[in-house]
Every structure is written in C-alpha cells, then in structure tokens.
Amino acid sequence: MSIRPFRDIKRRKTKEINVGKVKVGGNNPISVQSMTNTLTSDIKATINQINEINSEGADIVRVSCPDELSTKSLKEIIKHVDVPIVADIHFHYKRAIEAAENGASCLRINPGNIGDIKKIKEVVKAAQDNDCSIRVGVNAGSLEKDILDKFKEPCPEALVESALRNVKILEDENFSNLKISVKSSDVFLSIQAYRQLSKVTDYPLHLGITEAGGFIPGSIKSSIGLGTLLLDGIGDTIRISLSEDPVKEVKIGNEVLKSLNLRERGVRIISCPSCARQGFQVIETVKVLEQKLSHIKTPVTLSIIGCVVNGPGEAAMTDVGITGGKKGNNMLYLSGLQSEKVLTNDMIEKVVSEVEKKALELENKSNDTTKNS
C-alpha cells in the first residue's frame, strides 16, 4: 500500500502491443502522441517537425498518408527520426500496404473503410509481415451510414458498435496487434464511449478529444475528458488534439500525465497566483524559470510561492523551493528544509543552479540503482 493511497490510480489491465520500440498497454507507461501538420511528401519539413515533437517528449508520432508520394516518403523520413511513426490511412488500402512496407510502426485505419475482404486481407498481411500494429480509429464525425441510421446520431453506443465491428474484421484475419480509439469533439460523448468500450474489450485504448479547438479551449476540453478517464484507470496512450503547433500538444499531454502522477519528466513547478503579499514578482519569475529549466528531463519538483502564508508548507514537499520574504530577502528551501536567504536579484540564477544540481543528483542515483539491479 502506498504512503498516500488517495493518489493511487488503479489502471485497467490491457493487452500489451508493440508500436515500434514503444510498448503500449499492459503495465507499460502511458505514452504521449502527436501528429505532424506538414505535407508528408515534404520530407525535410516532416523530419524537422517529428524531431521537434519527439524532443518535447512524444513517444509516438502520426503522419498523414493521403497519397502514394506520402507513403514513399516514409522510407526516407524514418531513417532520420528516433520515434515510432503511425501512418494515418483513410479509404485506399494500397496506402496502408505501402506505409507498412516503408517502415511505419502502426497503421491508423478503419477496416470497414478499406473495402472488400480481399483488400483487408492484403493490409493485414502487410502489417504482419512488417511487424506493424494497427489502430482502429473511430470518430463521431465519420461513423458508418448504417450505424447512424440505427442510432439516429453519434452516441456512445454507436461509437462502441463501430469499434467492435472493425476490430472483429481484424480478428477474423487472426490479427490482434491492435489498439482502439473512439473519439468525439464532445467531452461527454467521448468519456461515455471510452467507459463503455473499456468494459467489453481488453485491447489498449488510445485516448483523445478530437477537434478540441484552439490552444486554451482545446487544452481545457482535453484535460477534462482525458483526466476523467485516466482517473478511472482507462487509457494506455493519449493525444491532445489542438489547432496549434503539435509541440504544444505534447507539452499539454505531458502535463496532464504529470498532474496525475502517471508520468515523471522534467521540472514540476508549484506556484501561487500572486497577490499583494508577494515578496517578488511571482508571475514573471515563473515564466522565466519555465524557460530556463525546460532543458531538464529528470523529474524535479520546485515550489515558487510569493509569501510565507503557504510558502514553507509547499516547500516542505518539494525538492527545491523559494518563498518570498520582506525587503527582497527570500528563503531558499532544499529537500524541504530551510537553506539560506536569497536576494530577489540573485534568486533566478540560484534556483536554476539548485534545480540543475538536484536533477544531476537524482539522475546519478537512478543510474546507480539501474547498475545494481
């Protein structure tokens, strides 16, 4: 039993599949995905964007493959990136075959859109021959006509029925290296669809609120939807879908997981909103420190509190803490204990130095543990 059981999330046990070098499902960490918005046929631009997305902490990246030139480009793209690539395929079965043969680690398809059973068999064979997984990706905006006729509108039952129908097509071909998504732009619909689906299948689930919107509304919708499901223990991989730079999708995805203790990566800052009691400019300080500490990947906690009301209490629970004091004399805390007073003008440089020291200490400790295990 953990020290703080109220923080425990009991994750739903799912099958484990491989998406390239990333294991999805089972007891594996929840992976973060994003998608490029470059023309995949523009090889240089796509490579650059994939590497930017990966650098921010994405585990898997999806690219759209609407034509033969895009699928041919995959072979060269994959040589220059260090992250599994998912090929997004709609309708044309040959694009799926080409993507698998050119190195895609996963195909995002709906088998029902591919065509007759002969074409599906060819896609499945290409996936099997090239160790390529498949994501059955159901969207509320593109449900099959007969399902819409049956349910009259997109609803949780409709999304689940579509997903299970498409999964059965693959299972009938003895293919089970797959994951499923049932996305909608409606938070309520998405949550209920995933909850229902999680009760009837043990395949890994890819979570997302599709077409969530711009940065602020999309981040909020996604955080509510995905956060609710993750707290339920549902979800093996996630994407934050924003009308924004995909690097920002990854940043938000990582923060969602970090806030639920489902991912440890980089500096987690606890900071106050600031008020008249602040001993230094909290908002500007946080902005500067976020930028100056963005290179750190080791998990470190940092509290930045403007006054002594909550400052010492928060600092007691973080690796490094700073609490505002009178006349620019701020208190630095290390491992929860008072360390020294720091003048406001020297504060940022001192905090960066201490966080970097702590990150190195934790990294060395982790390496020693790995060597001795």
3-state secondary structure 82-132: CCCEEEECCCCHHHHHHHHHCCCCEEEECHHHHCCHHHHHHHHHHHHHCCC
345 within a domain of the structure (yes/no): yes
Report pLDDT for 110.
80
pTM of the model: 0.91
- Which of 43-47, 138-142, 218-222 shows the lowest mean pLDDT across its residues? 138-142
% the chain with pLDDT above 70:
98
Span 184-191, average pLDDT: 97
Q: Are residues 192 and 336 in the same domain?
A: no
Residue with tokens 């919708």: 221
Main-chain dihedrals φ then ψ at residue 18, nearest 5 degrees: -110, 130
Q: Are residues 115 and 93 in the same domain?
A: yes
> Half-sphere exposure (CA, 13 Å, Cβ side) for 144?
20
Report pLDDT for 95.
96
Q: Are residues 32 and 138 in the same domain?
A: yes
Report pLDDT for 367.
78
Report pLDDT for 120.
87
d(CA 105, CA 270): 37
Q: Are residues 22 and 148 in the same domain?
A: yes
- Which of 60-74, 103-117, 281-295 shows the lowest mean pLDDT across its residues? 103-117
Span 171-193, average pLDDT: 96
Span 118-134, average pLDDT: 94
Q: Are residues 141 and 159 in the same domain?
A: yes
Report pLDDT for 370.
65
Give CA separation, 44 vs 65, 74, 244, 245, in Å. 16, 11, 20, 17
Which domain-ending residue is among 259, 280, 298?
259
Span 128-151, average pLDDT: 93
Print the domain residue range for 223.
11-259
Report pLDDT for 292.
97
Span 273-302, average pLDDT: 95
Task: Report residue 335 as tokens.
Answer: 């491992």
Which domain-ending residue is among 242, 259, 276?
259
373 compared with 64, residue with greater pLDDT: 64
Span 159-179, average pLDDT: 94
Q: Are residues 191 and 171 in the same domain?
A: yes
% the chain with pLDDT above 90:
88
Report pLDDT for 1.
56
Count the neighbouring beta carbons within 10 Å of the beta carbon of residue 262: 16
Span 104-126, average pLDDT: 88
**321-331 pLDDT tens trace:** 999 999 899 99
Report pLDDT for 373.
62
With a cut of 70, say whether residue 134 has pLDDT above it.
yes
Q: Are residues 227 and 293 in the same domain?
A: no
Instruction: Compute the radius of gyration of the chain from its Cα atoms.
Output: 23
Q: What's the CATH number where 23 sits? A: 3.20.20.20
Report pLDDT for 366.
78
Q: Are residues 235 and 337 in the same domain?
A: no
With a cut of 70, say whether residue 278 has pLDDT above it.
yes
83 within a domain of the structure (yes/no): yes
1 within a domain of the structure (yes/no): no
> Half-sphere exposure (CA, 13 Å, Cβ side) for 346?
11
Q: Are residues 323 and 230 in the same domain?
A: no
Q: Are residues 148 and 55 in the same domain?
A: yes
Which domain-ending residue is among 259, 285, 318?
259
**324-357 pLDDT tens trace:** 999 899 999 999 999 999 999 999 999 999 999 9
Per-residue burial over 46-62, b if 16 or more Cβ lie within 10 Å, else e, is bbebbebbbebbbbbbb
Span 111-132, average pLDDT: 88
Q: Are residues 206 and 331 in the same domain?
A: no
294 within a domain of the structure (yes/no): yes
Q: Are residues 207 and 292 in the same domain?
A: no
Report pLDDT for 153.
95
286 within a domain of the structure (yes/no): yes
With a cut of 60, say whether residue 168 has pLDDT above it.
yes
Report pLDDT for 195.
98
Amino acid making up residue 257:
L
With a cut of 80, say whether residue 244 has pLDDT above it.
yes
Amino acid making up residue 202:
D
| Count of domains for the chain | 2
4 within a domain of the structure (yes/no): no
**65-80 pLDDT tens trace:** 999 999 999 999 999 9
Average pLDDT along the chain: 94
Report pLDDT for 112.
72
